[in-house]
Every structure is written in structure tokens, then in C-alpha cells.
Structure 1
Amino acid sequence: MRVFLASIPLDHARVVVIGGGEAALAKLRLFADSPAEVLWFAPEGLPGATSMPRGGPVPIERTPVEDDLWGSRLVFIALDDETEAARLAGVARAAGAQVNVVDRPALGDFQTPALIDRDQIVVAIATGGAAPILARDLRSRIEAILPAALGPLARLAGELRDTVKATVPDFLARRRFWERAFRGSAADLVGAGKVAEARREMLRLMNVAAPEQGVVHIVGAGPGDPELLTLKALRVLQDADVIIHDRLVPEAVLARARRDARRLYVGKTRGDHSVPQDQIEQLMIAEARTGQRVVRLKGGDPFVFGRGGEELEAMRAAGVPVFVVPGVTAALACAASAGIPLTHRDHAQSVTFVTAQEKPAGVAPDWQRLAGPNQTLAIYMGTGRAAETAASLIAAGRAGATPVAIVENGSRPDERVITGTLDDLGGLVARANLTGPALLFVGECAAFSAAQLDVRAEAAA
């Protein structure tokens, strides 16, 4: 985050605007309906009579001195003379104010964000002064989808806040009450102008508020690109009280979750399980039993080599309500991002998802079936045994010249695609120095990857 937007109360605050041009008038309009005391200095002269702000402060046609600025919280300077603007900025700071110098961000302490004003609710978009037109465009898009009645709804909530706190002492029950109030018929009634009816509905909800039973959502986070989250996954993340997440879930995805949700890391790497699976399941159960909305967030899809099935069984056995939200599994996302069709009428009539890390003392892969022609293999967790996997496939009949592709960090900005042939798969992995999660693709369709096509084009040239 490069810019922090603070919420500054304007009750009993003094705001000073210096300047007489359109930029200064825009600042005056910004505070026209606020409870702040606004002072307007116009040392360079006043605008024409038709441009004078209606109901605005009486202009003072001189340059302010330090005594004029004492006690001011915010000072906006909109002057053409940069030297004079810089001098006045220093005077304002000496008087204890925060300073904005219009169109000269380097001289000020803050920039004015693009604002959406709904009375009690104010939404701000800031770019740190780098792209104000972009901020205004974003404001227009957001403003178009926000209900006009947000202000009255927030005002009603403020009036009932102390009553709700006294009547519903349990924190989680109180949170659930506000969620119902803001998302249900009470909000609709405010939007229709029926504030008294909305108040009665909120009071009814308050009288029946009670702690809820906890719930677990086992959620697929996809391959890492936050734009590949499903809408349902995003909604569940934004309602979560606790997020129990894996190593493969990047910060870009976690950033889409509710900011005050607790995050518990239970990541695993090969041979290093920071929290054993049975303890993860017990943690999920324990959190749900305290009434929390628990999200078990897993990379890719929880039911594709994600041990989601084991966690589902554990929740059911413990009597914990559990729901599964599928995600875009890594094979689909990596193949699409690398340009590898998993099936093709001419080359692959089937696709098989397989893991190279079978359960200890478990059943070994059926190499004869996996080595069959006209299919694509998507191999999860395969880099550590790439040479052994290739040797087993070749021994079972797959040609050593079969195209392969390694996709590291698929769908992410640092994605890397390495291509070659099956007989050199172990060498490709060794030379690649892989540091991120990677999938292996074996089959004729791997030749369609953008990286492979680039190699073939160079060879033809």
C-alpha cells in the first residue's frame, strides 16, 4: 500500500481554502455540506459573480498570516504562484495544519482523493497524486452501483448502535445482527424511504439475535491469480471470521478476504508439515464450535489432490456444518495460461490428473495405462520424481520423444514454461532451478505451449 486514507472527523474542525480560481471553488464545494468551519482567503482576487459558491463562506480578500491558520485541521492552497504556495504551506504547517497544495503534490502533506459522498458514508479512491483522472473514472464506476440511501441507513445504524450493544452483548451475535440488518429487508425499507419501518425491522432482528452455530467452508483458491477466484469463493472469504490457509495461497488472494478475519497458516512442503493433517482438522472443528465462520482455503481445487475429502469426512464425523466451494484446479489454469490444450481431436482424446507422490505404502501408479497413446498427463507434485516418472512411462511404452512442458507459478505474473521431451524430463527440472509450484504435462498437446512454439519458430528460421 503506497497511500493510507485516514478518516478525519469534521465536527468542530476548521478548514481553510486559499485561492479564488476554479480549483479553490472545487475545494469549497467539497465542504459545503460538512459540519466544518470553513474559512476562505482569496489573495489573488475573487471569481466572477456567477461563479461565487452559493451559501459558501464570506471571502477574505487578503493573504492569510500564521494567526489566521492557528487551530486549522486542513489547509488547501490553490494559487498560481508556486513560490507563494510553498511559503504558505510552511506557514500552515507551523500553525499545526495538514496541507494540500492543489496540483503540486510534492509541496503538500496529502492529496485529495476522489470522493463519493453519501452523508455518513464516504468512499475515497486515491492514487497518491499520480493519476487523478483514473481516480475520478473509478469513482464514477463505483458511484453508479452504490445505493443512494447508504447515508440514511448508516444514520439509523448509528442511532441504534448503543441499544444493540446493550441488548446483544455477544460479539459474534452482534456482528451477525448487523449483517442481517444491512443485507436484508431493513436496508430495502430505508432505500424505499420507509425509515420508521426499517427501524422496527432492526428492532425485531435485535430481539431475536443469538449466537449462531459455527460453519466450515472448504474453499478452492485457484492457482494463485486472484481474478480466477469464483464469485462464491470471494463472497465466502469476505464473510469469514477465521481463514486457515495453505502455503500455495498467495497474499494477492488473501488480500480479497475480510481484512479483520484471523489468518492461521498451516502450510506444508515436501517432508515438512508445519501442522499435521489431523491437527488441521481438529483446528477447523475447534474454531467452528466457538461459532466462527471458518474458511479452509486451499490452493487450486480442494478435491483435486488437496485432501479436501479427508477434511470433509472429519467435519461430518464431528457434526460440524460443512460446505465445499470448488476452485479452478492448477492443471486447468496452468494449461490455459501456457497455451496447452488438455484435449485435442487429433492428439488427445483424454486427460488424466495424476500425482507423483502416492501415499506411503499405497498403491503404485498404473504405468501401462498412463503410458497409453492419445492422452495428456497432468502430473501434480511431480518435480521431485521427474526422472523416475519419465523412466517409468518410457518403460511402459511411451516414446522418449513425447513432448513435455513444465509450468511453474502458472497464471501468476512470474509464470515460467519450460518445454522439451520425455526422455529429458529429469534434466529439464534439474536445470530449471524451480522455486515455485510446478505442474508437468506429458503428451502431444504439450507441443502447443507458447514456449514450444517459439522454439520451433526459431529452429525453422
Structure 2
Amino acid sequence: MNYLPVFLDLHLKTVLVIGAGEVAFNKITLLLRSKAKVNVIAKKLCSGVKILFNEKKIYWLSREFNEIYLKNVYLVVSATNDLQLNKYIFQLCIKHSLLVNVVDDKSKCSFIFPSIIDRSPIIISISSGGFAPVLLRLLREKIESMLPMKLGNVAKIAGEWREKIKQRFHTLLERRRFWEKLFKSIFVEHVLNENYEKAINILKKMMKKDILLRGEIILVGAGPGDSGLLTLRGFQILQQADVVLYDALVSADVLDLIRRDAKRIYVGKRVGLKSIKQDKIIKLLIFLARQGKKVVRLKGGDSFIFGRGAEEIEAAKKYGIDFQVVPGITSAIGVSAYTGIPLTHRKYSHGVILITGQKCGNIFSQNCSVLADSSYTLVVYMGMFNATDIAKKLMQCGRAASTPVAIVEKGTTVNQKVIIGCLEDIEKIIKFSITPSLFIIGEVVRFHKTLKWFQTSKTFTYVRNTSSIVKVI
């Protein structure tokens, strides 16, 4: 984030604008809308600025700039064609710790003017930081079309009733539930249609009802890494959450989609690293839900695929707590797609088997013939620490030593790395990979070379005679 978006209160604050051409006129008009006191320095005024001056809406201080005019100024806008003057003004503003914007020169701006969508008192500002103004215009058009023109009236009524609602409902959580329920009701439609009496009647009726703070536990699968793979329902739940308990495998991009004022609690759950025990996580979920909070358990991949989601839902059921499950794209599906390795294929694989690499001894002893069947693709989760043992057991069961293997590190992200080898080489090739990694074992791995499409991925093939790996371009 190159700029921190903030909203400045310019009401009756002095803003100095140097220049009075058409560009300056646009900035002055915007500043006046924010109730700023605008001082202008310019040799001459364009017609638009001259009208504002004649109407006594701005002050024309001087024809020439002098450092003395920076005294008692809140921020400065320089909109002249004089590059040397612009540079001088910028340096002076930095010296005096003043916010300054030199129009059309991003390198000489300590703040920038965003594109504004005005539904006062609701204001939405968007910016590309000067990189893509045309893209910004298209985004603005799209957002403008989505927001009703009367939307600001909804906020105005909410503001007028805010203190009464605060007196009626004493806790922050109660008030949040009230507003959420109100804004999801027909109240909004009545306001947009200017049926204010009906809208206020609905508000008053809802005020009379007590807010039942009934907690809820919601499992959300965050997907394998790429935030674009989070489901729409998952995103909606993250925006509603009061508390989010998240694992180590949840990407930073997905965490950025959580509602800003929701409490975040890191609970680890990474193989080989210290983390909170599962029974403590369950106790924490129950404790928070009993406080009436909407508690989200955010897990990498899908909660019901080696995510221990069933244990957490069983606990919610036992204690009479409402729950939901929002599925996520499990790592096998995401990694398969992003590496161009189909898990099934009419000619080479009639099915897929998902197993965990942790404590997998019984899996092989009880299912040896199935795991040895080359017509099944095998996907191993959390297999790094037992990779050598898994490979040996598979070959003992009957899988060919030459069976292709793909180890995919940080799958579906820009740091995705794919290492291609065969079953008998796993002990050597795992040295070139780190967790989190997923193993795909089977003939379908051969498709990676021709079907890979995710251009940021890095592919390496193990070369046995040199005991090394080489990058495949």
C-alpha cells in the first residue's frame, strides 16, 4: 500500500492553492465542497476561478508566491506550469511539515486526490496511486452504478438515531446486531423511495425488540492460497465475523479480506511447529460463541479434508451452539488445476485417493492393494516429514519405482514451485522443497509439461545421474 487512505476534516481550515487555471479550478471546487477556506496565489484567474472570487467564495492573496503565505496553512496545492516554482514550493512544504500536492507530479506529492464517489455523508474514494487513471475511471463507473443516489439518506437517518440506539442497547455487540438487522430490512428500500415515515416506523418497531445475542460457529475453508479461490460465501462470512480463529496455512491475502474491526486469533496448526492444541481451540470456540459472537474458524483448504472440522462442529452440536460450514477448495483440487496435472484422466487414472502423510502406517497395512493400483492418482497431504517412508511403503505394496511424482510447494500462489521426479527418488528430491508441500503421485503427473499454464510457477526436474535438479523452462 503506497498511500494510506484517510479522510481530512477541512471545515474552515486554510488551504493554499498556487495557480488559477482550469486544473486549479477543479481542485478549488472540490476543496470548497469540503468547506475549506481557500486562499489563491496566481498572476491571473481563469473565468471559473474569477467567478468564485467575485462571489467571495475564495481569497486572492497575491500574484506572486512568497514563503510567508505558508503560515497557518493546513495543506497546499500547487497547480502551476512553472516546474521550478513547483519544486521550490514542494521543498518548502516538506521543510514546514505541510501536506502538499503538486498537480500531475506524483514525485512531489505528500498526498494525492483520489477519485471520489459522493453519497454524502457516505464518501467512497479510490486511487491507483497514479498508475492507471483509465482503469480507475472504469472502476468508478462500476461502483457508481451499484450505489443508489439516495443511499446517503440511509446514513443520515442512522446518524440522527445513533444516540437513541446507544441508549436502548448498551453493548457494542447488541448495537452492531441491531444495525445489521435494520440495514438488511425493508427500512432501506423505504428510505431510497423517500417513504421516510414508513422507514422510521420500522426503525421504532425494531428498537422495541430485544436483541438476542445467539452465538454461532462457522467453519470457512480459505482455499489453498490464492485469495481469488476463496468462495463468495466465504468472503461474505469473513465480512460478518466478530472473531476469526485462523491457521498458519491461511494466506495473508485471504486474511486481508477479514472485516477490519474483527478480532483475529492465530491458532497455528502447522506440522512440526508449536501450536495451540485442538482441545483448547474447541474450548475457545465454545467460549466465544457463548458470548453471543459470530465466530469464524478459518482453515486452509477445506475444513472437512484433513482439517479436523468435524471435531469442532461436533463440539458446537454438543453445547447447543448454532453452526455453519462453508466449503473451500481443498489443496488437491487447487494444486491440480494450477499445475496442469489432472487428478483423473480417462486413459490414465480412474480415480483419486487423498491421504495424510501423518501417522499413515495403518493406511498402508489395510489398503495396500488399492494404493498400489496405478489406475488411481494418489495425493498426499502433510507428507514432507514421512515422505521417504511413504515412498518405500508404496513400492512395497506394488507401485512401480518409476511412478511419476510431483512435489508442489506453496501451490496456487505466486511462489508456487513444482519438482518433478519419480517414486524411488523422493528421498533426494524432498531436499529441494519446503513445507507446505503437496505430493501428487501417478501417471497424470506427466501432463504437467504440456498443460501447465500458471506462468509464475517454477518447475524443476530431478536428474538422477547428476543427483541434482534442473529448471525446466
The verdict on a shared fold, with TM-score over 0.5 as the criterion, is yes
**Greater mean alpha carbon deviation, residues 387-396 or residues 319-328:** 387-396
Aligned mates of 1:452, 1:33 — CA distance in 2: 56
1:444 corresponds in structure 2 to 443
Q: What are the residue-to-residue correspondences of 1:170-189 with 2, within 5 Å? A: 170-189=171-190
Deviation (angstroms), 1:382: 1.2
Aligned equivalent of 1:8: 8
User: Aligned letter for 1:447?
Assistant: R
Q: 2:213–2:291: 8 Å Cα contact kept in structure 1?
A: no
Q: Describe the SS at the equivalent of 2:245.
A: strand
Further displaced range: 144-153 or 346-355 = 144-153
Q: How far apart are residue 325 of structure 1 and its match?
A: 0.6
Counterpart CA distance in 2 for 1:364 and 1:215 is 41
CA distance in 2, matches of 1:404, 1:96: 60
Aligned counterpart, 2:81 = 80
Contact 1:246 1:297 in 2 (8 A): yes
Residues 336-345 or 177-186, more deviating: 177-186
Mapping 1:50-449, distance limit 5 Å: 57=57, 60=60, 62-63=63-64, 65=66, 68-89=69-90, 97-358=98-359, 364-430=365-431, 432=432, 434-449=433-448
- Partners of 1:28 and 1:110 lie apart in 2 by 16
- CA deviations over 1:258-284 (Å, ceiling 9, x no partner): 011111111123344521111110000
How far apart are residue 314 of structure 1 and its match?
Answer: 1.0
Aligned-residue offset at 1:355: 1.3
Compared with structure 1, are the counterparts of its residues 387 and 50 closer, same or farther at alpha carbon in structure 2 (3 Å cutoff)? closer
Between 1:324-333 and 1:135-144, the stretch displaced more is 135-144
Specify the SS of the correspondent of 2:385: helix
Amino acid in the other structure paired with 1:399: A
**For structure 2, which runs of at least 5 residues remain unmatched after alignment?**
453-458, 463-469
Q: Return the alpha-carbon distance in structure 1 between the equivalents of residues 288 and 380 of structure 2.
A: 34
Match of residue 34 from structure 1: 34
**Alpha-carbon shift at residue 318 of structure 1 (Å):** 1.2
Asked whether the equivalents of residues 76 and 100 of structure 1 are also in contact (C-alpha less than 8 Å), the reply is: yes
> 149-158 or 199-208: which moved more?
199-208
What is the CA–CA distance in structure 2 between the aligned matches of 1:56 and 1:422, rounded to whole Å?
82
Question: Per-residue deviation at 1:365?
Answer: 5.0
Call closer, same or farther: CA 1:191–1:56 in 2, change over 3 Å. farther
Q: Distance in 2 between matches of 1:406 and 1:269?
A: 18
Deviation, 1:136, is 3.3
TM-aligned CA distance change 1:104 to 1:292, over 3 Å: same
Distance 1:211 1:452, change over 3 A: closer
Cα shift readout 1:77-126 (whole Å, capped 9, x = no counterpart): 10001222233445666777422111123333211111112121111123
**Displacement of 1:359:** 7.0
Q: Which whole-Å CA distance do the structure 1 matches of 2:56 and 2:450 have between them?
A: 64
Aligned 8 A contact 1:70 1:95 in 2? no
What letter matches 1:17 in structure 2?
V
Match of residue 465 from structure 2: none
Q: What is the rounded CA distance, in whole Å, between the counterparts of 2:390 and 2:175 in structure 1? A: 55
Q: Deviations over 1:397-454 (max 9, x none)?
A: 2111111111111101100111111121222213x1x223111111110111138988
TM-score normalised by L of structure 1: 0.91
* Residue identity in the other structure for 1:290: Q
Distance in 2 separating the partners of 1:11 and 1:248 = 46
Separation of aligned partners in 2, 1:317 and 1:50: 71
Match of 1:85, SS state, is: helix
Query: 1:50 and 1:96 mapped to 2: Cα distance?
Result: 28
The separation in 2 between residues aligned to 1:442 and 1:339, in whole angstroms, is 14
State which drifts further: 143-152 or 235-244.
Answer: 143-152
In structure 1, stretches of 5+ residues that fail to align are none
Give the distance between the partners of 2:374 and 2:141, measured in 1 at CA. 55
Identity of aligned residues (%): 38
Aligned 8 A contact 1:28 1:56 in 2: no
Residue pair 1:170, 1:211 contacting (<8 A) in 2 also: no
What is the CA–CA distance in structure 1 between the aligned matches of 2:472 and 2:411, rounded to whole Å?
A: 28
Q: Secondary structure at the match of 1:323?
A: strand
Contact 2:116 2:123 in 1 (8 A): yes
- Alignment partners' CA distance in 1, 2:304 and 2:188: 38
Offset from partner CA, 1:17-40 (integer Å, 9 cap, x none): 321222101112323433333333
Q: Aligned letter for 2:116?
A: L
Query: Shift of residue 73 of structure 1?
Result: 2.2
CA distance change for structure 1 residues 50 and 62 in 2, over 3 Å: closer, same or farther? Answer: closer
- 2:114 and 2:393 map into 1 onto residues whose CA distance is 61
Q: Is 1:12–1:36's contact at 8 Å kept on the other side of the alignment?
A: yes
Shift of 1:149: 2.0
Query: Is this contact kept in 2: 1:71–1:95, CA < 8 A?
Result: no
TM-superposition CA deviations, 1:22-73 (whole Å, max 9, x none): 2101112323433333333332x22247996697835626235456554432
Q: What is the RMSD of the two structures over their aligned residues, measured on CA atoms? A: 2.9
Q: TM-score, normalised by structure 2?
A: 0.89
Residue pair 2:247, 2:270 contacting (<8 A) in 1 also: no
Answer whether contact 2:364 2:371 (CA < 8 A) is retained: no
Contact 1:241 1:294 in 2 (8 A): yes
Compute the displacement of 1:146 (Å): 2.0
